[in-house]
């Protein structure tokens, strides 16, 4: 008996409400040869939502470089997998929870962390670190401090409880995020490289097993919500809020890793967006098999749940797996030990169809191949962002001089200390954190029992991306590579989280395409492939888009954790600037915060120089020649040195700017590909730089308690620190 079709008019109306376009609905009719049932319509709408199908972004994502000799699994799996030596693989991914975090900041952010953790441990990895890339609106925008507070508490509440250290991240503020903050969470895990678990189902007749928490009516249509832009009626979307239970997640990690140490699992996948639907459809689809589910066996938290509700529920902390036949009892014992639900809810078939039964009735019966192959794929029209003029620093007056501008900058929203945030994240659990937040350009986490360590970072400069999406995409990748390099790590691969506005607008799709182009060029030039990622579109409120934000999460390796350097300055060292300074003020923070202008072309990234400078710096660090290293990014040279100084309280005296540059361009220009190194033996370093063709110059010396920016310009590090540390606590004092 086929499922009971909806009344045709009702089906059409619902398909609209569920976000299917008219031509997409016609395709549903063609595939089924009849009007769908409610459950079937639900399945199609979530599988074909932007969130699950990547229908607007796929054509562009395909152009990203994804290969390198150390890449084990690139995009397409739950997370990316790379070889890091010692027989181990790093498994990592970043994912957005933007819309849920706007509606319910605590739970939205918390479940974002929970979801990305599952993407990583579902592949067999023990998670060893979390990072988070956050973009908030202007602090005086409605609800904004509450959103900041809730998001930070939610990330901490979840990560701290599961016992995975939160070791890094980034935060920006801009009014463009007022109605649409971004919460991107990243998890890095470790597994033996020959024991990676994939999601392709196999073995006709094999049992389909559900483990974890019970299913409730949470987050129904969360995936479609993530694919729609906000409007004033966002309130009405509230019932889709999901609640996280990090305690259950912790048990689920332990139980899954225990099961993964056996040979019982054929395939496994977390139930993320669109829960049971996407996990079952994707597992069966990837394996080219059919799947039959009996929903009566699904552990349920509420009474009277329908097939439609169970298939679309986004209840958290659940996994789906295919077991080898006859191993159910053994597997169940492990989950019972950890006090988790375990249920056989179906089996694999040779029909190539997904069949859903509930209470003796077939609620859905859909051929899997067309669900995938006929999924909509759009090459949406694009419009290029007009190029901005290149600003000449000589045309821009300096109203403040270096010291006052510096004090203002280090206390500004985008540069002030993030301590208020990271003080709420457990960054030491696990006992392997070599570089905690604030200590270095990238976090460094050692691998337990080994010398080896991973370095990780998240980076993106959205204001550059708005001004020039291609240059901005390139810069984001380059900065991640630079941050890993600055601790001495060899950068290996990235994950990305593409946050953009409504892709149906050509200028937004143009931003996306250009950002991908820029990223791809940097990935290629730096041997830094993309191994996983996530796309979040429709980040708009009442038609106003966020800044284009391709957040990059980078991972690198250090063979010996003891070789890692931080950015903290010590007295009695020479400061050496590596890289070329042309004094680029366009889109700089100085221009915005001091001159009050947000304009100009952003600084270009010269990928050949980037690579040359970075490889040089890394080699010097590994040779033990640098006591500290910091890349020059937001705010420019003087801010970089100030950050090194504030980390310990040790001051520095810097030489006067070179005569050929306006002073403010020297101090605050945001030219790319630069590093400041604190070294004992300058001559050796400079000789090596000359030999490598890398621009390098001694710019000053550390010591004392003041930062001196050329003769006559001096400020105490204590005073800078006070300005740096005061901003966020003052902002957040109102929320308590």
Ligand X SMILES: Nc1ncnc2c1ncn2[C@@H]1O[C@H](COP(=O)(O)OP(=O)(O)O)[C@@H](O)[C@H]1O
Q: How far apart are CA 398 and CA 391, in angstroms?
A: 14
Q: Which of 51, 347, 664, 724 is catalytic?
A: 51
Which residue in the shown chain puts its C-beta closest to ligand X?
169
Does residue 51 carry a catalytic annotation? yes
Q: Which stretch binds ligand X (CB under 6 A): 75-83, 89-97, 435-443, 717-725?
A: 435-443
Nearer to ligand X, 314 or 471 (CB): 471
Residue 32's H or E segment, with its range, is helix 22-32
Nearer to ligand X, 343 or 443 (CB): 443
Q: Which of other proteins, Mg ion, ligand X, none does residue 621 bind to, with CB < 5 to 8 Å depending on kind?
A: none
Near other proteins by CB under 8 A: residue from 190, 191, 466, 561: 561
Nearer to ligand X, 479 or 540 (CB): 479
Is 315 among the residues that bind other proteins (CB under 8 A)?
yes
Task: Report the site for other proteins in 386-425 (rule: CB under 8 A).
Answer: 422-425
Q: How far apart are CA 447 and CA 204, in angstroms?
A: 39
Residue with tokens 């609905």: 25
Nearer to ligand X, 65 or 554 (CB): 554
* Full 3-state SS string of 643-701: HHHHCCCCCEEECCCCCCCCHHHHHHCCCCCCEEEEECCHHHHHHHHHHHCCCEEEEEE
Q: How far apart are CA 566 and CA 564, in angstroms?
A: 7
Q: How far is the CB of 529 from ligand X (least distance, A)?
A: 21
Near ligand X by CB under 6 A: residue from 237, 286, 327, 418: 418
Q: What is the DSSP letter of 529?
A: -
Is 662 among the residues that bind ligand X (CB under 6 A)?
no
- 3-state secondary structure at position 438: coil
Q: Which of 332, 201, 202, 186 is nearest to 259 (CA)?
A: 332
Q: Which of other proteins, Mg ion, ligand X, none does residue 339 bind to, with CB < 5 to 8 Å depending on kind?
A: other proteins
Q: What is the torsional sign of CA 141, 112, 485, 473?
A: negative
Nearer to other proteins, 310 or 434 (CB): 434
Q: Which stretch binds ligand X (CB under 6 A): 288-296, 420-428, 596-604, 651-659?
A: 420-428
Q: How far apart are CA 10 and CA 55, in angstroms?
A: 26
Q: Which of ligand X, Mg ion, other proteins, none does residue 162 bind to, with CB < 5 to 8 Å depending on kind?
A: other proteins
Is 636 among the residues that bind other proteins (CB under 8 A)?
no
Is 427 among the residues that bind other proteins (CB under 8 A)?
yes
Q: Which stretch binds ligand X (CB under 6 A): 142-150, 199-207, 234-242, 438-446?
A: 438-446
Per DSSP, helices labelled H in 226-306 are 246-260, 275-287
Nearer to other proteins, 244 or 586 (CB): 244
Residue 293 Cα distances to 195, 277, 389, angstroms: 28, 11, 59
Beta strands in 289-394 (DSSP E): 290-294, 318-323, 341-349, 353-358, 361-367
* Full 3-state SS string of 139-206: CCCCCHHHHHHHHHHHHHHHHHHHCCCEEEEEEEECHHHCCCCEEEEEEEEEEECCCCCCCCCCCCCC
Nearer to ligand X, 347 or 418 (CB): 418
Task: Report the site for ligand X in 144-173 (rule: CB under 6 A).
Answer: 166, 168-171
Is 706 among the residues that bind other proteins (CB under 8 A)?
no
Does residue 97 carry a catalytic annotation? yes
Q: How far is the CB of 525 from Mg ion (least distance, A)?
A: 20
Structure tokens at 360: 């003796």
- 3-state secondary structure at position 604: coil
Q: Which of 291, 272, 246, 121 is nearest to 196 (CA)?
A: 121
Any idea which residues carry the catalytic annotation?
51, 97
- List interacting residues with ligand X (CB under 6 A): 132, 134, 166, 168-171, 418, 421-422, 425, 437-438, 441, 443, 459, 483, 633-634
- List interacting residues with other proteins (CB under 8 A): 103-104, 106-107, 153, 156-157, 160-163, 213, 216-218, 238, 241-248, 250-251, 301-302, 315-316, 337-339, 422-434, 436, 446, 448, 561-562, 734-736
């Amino acid at each position: 008996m086929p499922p009971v079709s909806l009344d045709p008019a009702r089906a059409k109306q619902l398909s609209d409400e569920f976000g299917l376009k008219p031509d997409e609905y016609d395709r549903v009719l063609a595939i089924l040869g009849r009007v769908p049932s409610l459950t079937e319509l639900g399945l199609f709408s979530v599988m074909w939502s932007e969130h699950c199908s990547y229908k607007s972004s796929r054509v562009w994502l395909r152009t990203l470089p994804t290969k390198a000799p150390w890449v084990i699994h690139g995009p397409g799996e739950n997370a990316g997998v790379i070889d890091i030596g010692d027989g181990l693989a790093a498994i990592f991914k970043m994912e957005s929870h933007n819309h849920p975090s706007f509606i319910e900041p605590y739970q939205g952010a918390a479940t974002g962390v929970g979801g990305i953790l599952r993407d990583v441990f579902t592949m067999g990895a023990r998670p060893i670190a979390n990072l988070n890339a956050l973009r908030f609106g202007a602090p005086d925008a409605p609800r904004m401090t509450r959103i900041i507070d809730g998001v930070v508490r939610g990330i901490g509440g979840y990560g701290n409880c599961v016992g995975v250290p939160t070791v890094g991240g980034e935060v920006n503020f801009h009014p463009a995020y007022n109605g649409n903050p971004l919460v991107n969470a990243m998890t890095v895990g470790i597994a033996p490289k020959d024991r990676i678990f994939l999601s392709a189902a196999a073995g006709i007749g094999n049992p389909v097993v559900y483990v974890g928490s019970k299913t409730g009516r949470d987050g129904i249509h969360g995936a479609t919500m993530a694919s729609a832009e906000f409007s004033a009626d966002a309130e009405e979307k509230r019932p889709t809020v999901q609640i996280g239970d990090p305690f259950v997640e912790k048990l689920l990690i332990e139980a899954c890793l225990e099961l993964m140490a056996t040979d019982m699992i054929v395939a496994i996948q977390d139930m993320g967006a669109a829960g049971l639907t996407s996990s079952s459809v994707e597992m069966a689809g990837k394996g080219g098999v059919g799947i039959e589910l009996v929903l009566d066996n699904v552990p349920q938290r509420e009474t009277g749940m329908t097939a439609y509700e169970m298939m679309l529920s986004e209840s958290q902390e659940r996994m789906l797996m295919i077991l080898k036949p006859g191993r159910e009892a053994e597997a169940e014992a492990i989950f019972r030990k950890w006090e988790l639900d375990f249920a056989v809810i179906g089996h694999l078939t040779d029909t190539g169809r997904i069949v859903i039964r509930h209470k003796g009735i077939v609620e859905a019966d859909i051929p899997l191949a067309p669900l995938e192959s006929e999924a909509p794929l759009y090459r949406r029209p694009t419009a290029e962002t007009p190029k901005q003029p290149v600003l000449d620093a000589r045309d821009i007056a300096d109203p403040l001089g270096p010291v006052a501008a510096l004090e203002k900058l280090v206390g500004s929203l985008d540069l002030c200390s993030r301590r208020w945030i990271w003080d709420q994240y457990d960054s030491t659990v696990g006992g392997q954190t070599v570089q905690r937040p604030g200590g270095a350009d990238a976090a460094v986490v050692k691998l337990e029992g080994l010398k080896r360590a991973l370095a990780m970072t998240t980076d993106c400069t959205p204001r550059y991306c708005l001004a020039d999406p291609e240059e901005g995409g390139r810069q984001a990748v380059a900065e991640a590579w630079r941050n890993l390099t600055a601790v001495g790590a060899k950068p290996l691969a990235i994950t990305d989280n593409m946050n953009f506005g409504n892709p149906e607008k050509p200028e937004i799709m143009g931003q996306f395409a250009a950002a991908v182009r820029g990223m791809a060029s940097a990935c290629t030039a730096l041997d830094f492939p993309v191994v996983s990622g996530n796309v979040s579109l429709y980040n708009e409120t009442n038609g106003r888009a966020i800044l284009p934000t391709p957040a990059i999460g980078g991972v690198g390796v250090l063979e010996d954790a003891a070789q890692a350097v931080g950015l903290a300055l010590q007295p009695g060292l020479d400061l050496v600037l590596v890289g070329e300074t042309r004094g680029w003020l366009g889109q700089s923070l100085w221009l915005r915060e001091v001159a009050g202008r947000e304009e100009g072309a952003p600084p270009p990234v010269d990928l050949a120089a980037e690579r040359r400078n970075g490889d040089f710096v890394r080699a010097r660090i590994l040779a033990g020649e640098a006591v500290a290293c910091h890349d020059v990014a937001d705010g420019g040279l003087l801010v970089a040195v100030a950050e090194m100084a504030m980390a310990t309280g040790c001051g520095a005296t810097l030489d006067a700017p070179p005569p050929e540059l306006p002073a403010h361009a020297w101090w605050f220009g945001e030219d790319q590909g630069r590093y400041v190194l604190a070294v004992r033996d300058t001559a050796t370093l400079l000789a090596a730089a000359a030999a490598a063709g890398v621009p390098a110059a001694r710019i000053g010396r550390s010591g004392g308690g003041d930062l001196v920016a050329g003769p006559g310009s001096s400020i105490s590090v204590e005073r800078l620190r006070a300005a740096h540390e005061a901003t966020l606590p003052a902002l957040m004092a109102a929320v308590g």
